[in-house]
Amino acid sequence: MTSAIVLGGSRGIGKAISDALESIDIDVFATSKNDIDTSNLNSVKGFVENNISTDILILNTGGPVPKKFLDITEDDWKLYHNQLFLGFCTILQNMKINDGGYIFLISSNVIKEPNPKLIISSAYRVAFSEVFKVLSKDFAQKNISCINIAPGPINTERTKELIENVKEYEKSLPMKRLGEPEEIGNFVKSIIENKIKYLTGVTINFDGANSNYVF
Amino acid sequence: MTSAIVLGGSRGIGKAISDALESIDIDVFATSKNDIDTSNLNSVKGFVENNISTDILILNTGGPVPKKFLDITEDDWKLYHNQLFLGFCTILQNMKINDGGYIFLISSNVIKEPNPKLIISSAYRVAFSEVFKVLSKDFAQKNISCINIAPGPINTERTKELIENVKEYEKSLPMKRLGEPEEIGNFVKSIIENKIKYLTGVTINFDGANSNYVF
Amino acid sequence: MTSAIVLGGSRGIGKAISDALESIDIDVFATSKNDIDTSNLNSVKGFVENNISTDILILNTGGPVPKKFLDITEDDWKLYHNQLFLGFCTILQNMKINDGGYIFLISSNVIKEPNPKLIISSAYRVAFSEVFKVLSKDFAQKNISCINIAPGPINTERTKELIENVKEYEKSLPMKRLGEPEEIGNFVKSIIENKIKYLTGVTINFDGANSNYVF
Amino acid sequence: MTSAIVLGGSRGIGKAISDALESIDIDVFATSKNDIDTSNLNSVKGFVENNISTDILILNTGGPVPKKFLDITEDDWKLYHNQLFLGFCTILQNMKINDGGYIFLISSNVIKEPNPKLIISSAYRVAFSEVFKVLSKDFAQKNISCINIAPGPINTERTKELIENVKEYEKSLPMKRLGEPEEIGNFVKSIIENKIKYLTGVTINFDGANSNYVF
């Protein structure tokens, strides 16, 4: 039976991916912060000792509270360096992804069009995207596909925390609505279900035409 | 019943998409050059007069013979300007895509990393990608998703014409093989089948980790 | 004595570049539409017959009137295909750039972040940028540098035509002002004056921090 | 008199910039590792306490020893997180750049086309580039220009350490040579000398047409 580990699998996009994978009979471990806290390297190391391999890995984690650049403390930088970058590196250095598997990274569209309020997230998520791109060429040799999904405004608790008036905000979006986590969940599911492997080393905006950069 | 028009649907990637869409009971019109020749604007205009609307449109066409810049004639430029750019513009100016529909553009990874031998293709395909990006924001208001797929080396007749020794070439690729047209066909199918709409205004490399640009 | 041909050299950015190059004793031919009309291939061919070589070439031309996609006619497409793309290709296919020379392309920041009102400009300028990138590798072998400058809002007649209320618009810009053509003129001058050659194959946003894409 | 602080100003690109700025009578503080060690946050904090403001700041630092992903230790990540990212953030949070000033970041072309051997550098340099892009919009309001220069292969001690056979390597480059540090030094100088301010929020490849991405 195919196995999957979904980090941050208890809510939002992570939960939607977990649910979608379970619907096609994948054995999903949807982790919560009790299982693994990527901001804590000891927690990460403990987790990978107990979970030494998987077929499918979903690298997903919440983002930081919005802060202006001048208000960000050294502790903030270091915490989110762990949470958004070093925790994921540690996992990929220590966990075995089985041949023919998949790694999905859930990053954010701020990696291409950085957001002043989400400067920490912009910085560390793009840093990991760079690592992920490099590794995709190695993983390709084991028929493991690496797909970076960069969501825009999605209908999650987090978005509601970040956006003051969601109804008004939605009117400003090309699709006049937030994206649904299930759309990302189904997207991930369908790639796996259809055994699409050549889609790898790629960053996919998932933002309802909200971004402005041509690619 | 859902309808689809697949340009260049008689072979290669176009055929694979046609086959995949038919497998989920979509009414597919897989066009050949007899139905519509995008290098000939009169042919395009005739086609759109007879095919005034569709739910799903796949903008797909073959590429030019490789030529060095200094060898490209004025007639070459104008022919492929029609085939790769103006024909598609004419279709989108005249054909109605039904609300909730999909438009897929099959471009090429040369739009991001241009190839000296495929300079015509690089130029006109990126030009249309720019138009497609702009239009995606308008189409979003009608719940129509616009997805630009930028394939790398795919196992088609065309690739065999362009590459002298395919076996040797495959060894140089991260996945040690060409992509299969069916992977793209299934990818397109699964987006439609799963009613994924928020994936729009996006360019998706489909190249087996072969490109080097970070995004 | 070093020679330069500046297309569209009679006004705006072209004039500023001409003036700056003259200030360092370069022999500048600042062309007007009477000398060469890049929208007319016969005019282009006549020009290159009479101007067979140069040390420095500035590829610069005005942009089209803003039009919505659905209002663009076949004649519009073809006219600007010549003016923004094919005219420049014809020049580079027929004019000799002397070893150690420079080619500057004045494109636009709409090549990266396309503008719905400037869809023609976005499409054909990015198409030529693609050609220019490919050619930069060939020109490098002759020590010829190819630099693509992508201006944002610059204080020219054209900007005043495109923007209704310039004073209001300026308040929305990060620098609270338009760029001055002289800044681009001096930039071009200083690269040549300082014999900087390794800056080539590059696209340089010149937009006062107005763009949002990370690069 | 105009003042400049050049980090890593004692050798390579930093020294070339220092020399170029001195040639136009700027009061340059070319720091060495004794003055400030960006890998050590206490050293950084001490430095900014003693150097509270400057007109021109050059953010420049050496890169890490090449290491494969699986060989990178937690200490490596943390050291270079400081050196390539957090040290620079700390400086920009605490040092005053005088109105009308300039900040240049010397990053690397690996931020766009990551290098497997330079994965640490790719990751943290792009992370800081993201921060720098965001800040450029704030600095614009004080007429401070932020310019990210992304060098390719430059003729420095470091390149000679990274490349086994430099002579052979040079043959593979479009310009058949490495770039000279002086070209970057003169480029920086000429922007300042010509009071070019609208060139800001920009990343400039400086690689002799060696990169392949279209922009």
Please say if the pLDDT value at position A114 is more than 90.
yes
Q: What is the DSSP letter of A141?
A: T
Please say if the pLDDT value at position C199 is more than 90.
yes
Q: Is D142 on the interface with C (CB under 8 A)?
A: no
Angle formed at CA C62 by CA C61 and CA C65, multiple of 5 degrees: 150
Please say if the pLDDT value at position A179 is more than 90.
yes
The string of pLDDT tens digits covering residues B166-205 is 999 999 999 999 999 999 999 999 999 999 999 999 999 9
Q: Is D113 on the interface with B (CB under 8 A)?
A: yes
- The chains in contact with chain D, meaning 3 or more Cβ pairs closer than 8 Å, are A, B, C
User: Mean per-residue pLDDT for B13-28?
Assistant: 98
Mean pLDDT score across all residues of chain A: 97
Angle formed at CA B189 by CA B184 and CA B194, multiple of 5 degrees: 130
Please say whether the beta carbons of C146 and C201 come within 8 A. Answer: yes
- Helices A12-22, A181-193: axis angle to 10 degrees equals 40
Find, among A78, A92, A12, A10, the residue nearest to A39 by Cα: A78
Count CB-CB contacts under 10 A for residue A42: 8
Kindly list the residues from chain A whose CB atom is less than 8 angstroms away from the CB atom of residue B203.
205, 214-215
Please say if the pLDDT value at position C171 is more than 90.
yes
Q: Is C131 on the interface with B (CB under 8 A)?
A: yes
State the pLDDT at residue C66.
92
State the pLDDT at residue D1.
82
Mutate to test the interface with B, among C96, C110, C130 (most CBs of B within 10 A): C130
Q: Which of residues 53-72 of B touch C (CB under 8 A)?
A: 69-70, 72
Angle formed at CA B38 by CA B34 and CA B43, multiple of 5 degrees: 60
The string of pLDDT tens digits covering residues A71-113 is 999 999 999 999 999 999 999 999 999 999 999 999 999 999 9
Which of B14-24 are b and which e, b meaning 16 or more Cβ less than 10 Å from the residue's Cβ? bbbbbbbbeee
State the pLDDT at residue B95.
98
Contact B122 C111 (CB under 8 A): no
Q: Using pLDDT thresholds of 50, 70 and 90, give the confidence band for residue C197.
A: very high
- The Cα C12–Cα B209 span in angstroms is 44
Kindly list the residues from chain D whose CB atom is less than 8 angstroms away from the CB atom of residue C136.
174, 209
Contact C207 D201 (CB under 8 A): yes
Residue with tokens 């921090």: C209
State the pLDDT at residue D127.
98
* Per-residue CA distances from A36 to A12, A54, D28 (Å): 17, 15, 49
- Please give the ipTM for the structure prediction: 0.97
State the pLDDT at residue B193.
96
The string of pLDDT tens digits covering residues D46-91 is 999 999 999 999 999 988 989 999 999 999 999 999 999 999 999 9
A196: closest CA of chain D, how far (Å): 25
- The Cα A123–Cα D127 span in angstroms is 4
Longest C-alpha distance within chain A, in Å? 50
Mean pLDDT score across all residues of chain B: 97
Helix/strand/coil for D76? helix
B137: closest CA of chain D, how far (Å): 23
Residue with tokens 């072998």: C141
| Ranges assigned E (strand) in A120-183 | 145-151
- The chains in contact with chain A, meaning 3 or more Cβ pairs closer than 8 Å, are B, C, D
Kindly list the residues from chain A whose CB atom is less than 8 angstroms away from the CB atom of residue C213.
112-113, 212-213
Scanning every residue of chain C, which has its alpha carbon at the shortest distance from the alpha carbon of D203?
C215
Could you say which of A111, A126, A214 has the minimum Cβ distance to residue C113?
Answer: A214
Please say if the pLDDT value at position B65 is more than 90.
no
* Residue D214, token pair as written in the block: 């279209």
The string of pLDDT tens digits covering residues A166-177 is 999 999 999 999
Kindly list the residues from chain A whose CB atom is less than 8 angstroms away from the CB atom of residue C122.
214
- The Cα B206–Cα B184 span in angstroms is 8
Q: Is A89 on the interface with D (CB under 8 A)?
A: yes
| Ranges assigned E (strand) in A9-63 | 27-30, 53-59
Q: Using pLDDT thresholds of 50, 70 and 90, give the confidence band for residue C123.
A: very high
User: Mean per-residue pLDDT for B71-90?
Assistant: 98
The string of pLDDT tens digits covering residues A41-50 is 999 999 999 9
The string of pLDDT tens digits covering residues A135-152 is 999 999 999 999 999 999
Q: What is the CA radius of gyration of chain C?
A: 17
Mean pLDDT score across all residues of chain C: 97
Q: Using pLDDT thresholds of 50, 70 and 90, give the confidence band for residue A65.
A: confident
Helix/strand/coil for C50? helix
Contact B127 C131 (CB under 8 A): no
* Residue A154, token pair as written in the block: 């999605």
Tell me which residues of chain D have a pLDDT lower than 50. Answer: none
D146: closest CA of chain C, how far (Å): 8
Please say whether the beta carbons of B105 and B56 come within 8 A. Answer: no
* Residue B203, token pair as written in the block: 């360019």
CA atoms within 13 A on the CB side of C212: 17
